[in-house]
A and B are shown apart, each in its own frame.
Chain A
Amino acid sequence: GQNIDQPTEMTATEGAIVQINCTYQTSGFNGLFWYQQHAGEAPTFLSYNVLDGLEEKGRFSSFLSRSKGYSYLLLKELQMKDSASYLCAVRADLGNTDKLIFGTGTRLQVFP
Chain B
Amino acid sequence: DAGVTQSPTHLIKTRGQHVTLRCSPISGHKSVSWYQQVLGQGPQFIFQYYEKEERGRGNFPDRFSARQFPNYSSELNVNALLLGDSALYLCASRFGQGEGYGYTFGSGTRLTVV
Partner-B contacts on A (CB < 8 A): 4, 30-31, 33, 35, 40-45, 48, 50, 87, 89, 91, 93-105
Contact = CB atoms under 8 A, between A and B. Distances in A.
Nearest to B4: A42
Given A31-B99, A33-B103, A42-B90, A105 B42 contact: yes
Nearest to B108: A42
Interface in B62-114: 88, 90, 92, 94, 97-99, 102-108, 110
B48 A43 contact: no
Nearest to B103: A100
B88 A40 contact: yes
A84 to B, nearest CB: 13
A98 B108 contact: no
Interface of B: 31, 33, 35, 40-45, 48, 50, 55-56, 58, 88, 90, 92, 94, 97-99, 102-108, 110
Most buried by A among B41, B42, B108: B42
Given A45-B104, A104-B40, A104-B42, 7 more contacts: A33-B103, A40-B88, A45-B103, A91-B99, A98-B50, A98-B97, A103-B42
Per DSSP, are chain A's interface residues mostly helix, strand or loop, or mixed?
strand
A89 B42 contact: yes
23 contacts: A31-B99, A40-B110, A41-B107, A42-B105, A42-B106, A43-B105, A93-B98, A94-B56, A96-B55, A97-B48, A97-B56, A98-B31, A98-B48, A98-B97, A98-B98, A99-B33, A99-B48, A100-B43, A100-B92, A101-B45, A102-B42, A103-B42, A105-B41
Nearest to A96: B55
